[in-house]
Amino acid sequence: MRTVETPDGERYLLLSTSDGTARLRNPKTGAERTIDADSVDTVTESPLSVAAGGVPEPVRRTMTAVHDERALGVLVTLVDDGPTAVVDLLSYSGLCESDFNGLFGELRAAGLVAEAEIAGERGYEATETAEKAVERLRPRDGDDGA
């Protein structure tokens, strides 16, 4: 698999070539199509990076920053409940303070949470990026997510 670019500047994944044709996959939709092989140019961008680029940015950022269900649960809780005090987040998460600080350091670095003040106490809130990611990850009404 290689990355190619069409004359209109769009990047695709080159799946195969045969008899002067190229079979391409659109990384945004997963749809495949066949075009004239002479109409594409190979580019150096990693095909795996191009494939990942088909996933909306807030979801990509969340997937790379959230490493387990507990971390995802913390993020979803902040999206649902709004700004929450550190003492409450520590209680919900069951993490020791060191692990908690490590997790929130990663979430802050990824731009998914921000520090907040809640009733005079230190806390965290979900960013707009986290809210968009959780919205996209959740099933829509009538969809069981499977």
Ordered domains of the chain (ranges, CATH):
2-52 (2.30.30), 57-137 (1.10.10.10)
pLDDT band at 93 (very low <50, low <70, confident <90, very high): confident
Task: Name the residue with tokens 């969809």.
Answer: 143
Residue 85 has pLDDT above 70, yes or no: yes
Range of weakest confidence among 22-26, 54-58, 137-141: 137-141
As a whole number of angstroms, the distance between CA 67 and CA 123 comes to 21
Region 88-113: mean pLDDT is 92
Residue 143 has pLDDT above 70, yes or no: no
β pairing state of 32-36 and 84-85:
unpaired
Reported pTM: 0.75
Name the β-bridge partners of 4. Answer: 12, 42
β pairing state of 32-36 and 21-25:
antiparallel
Task: Name the residue with tokens 């929450």.
Answer: 84
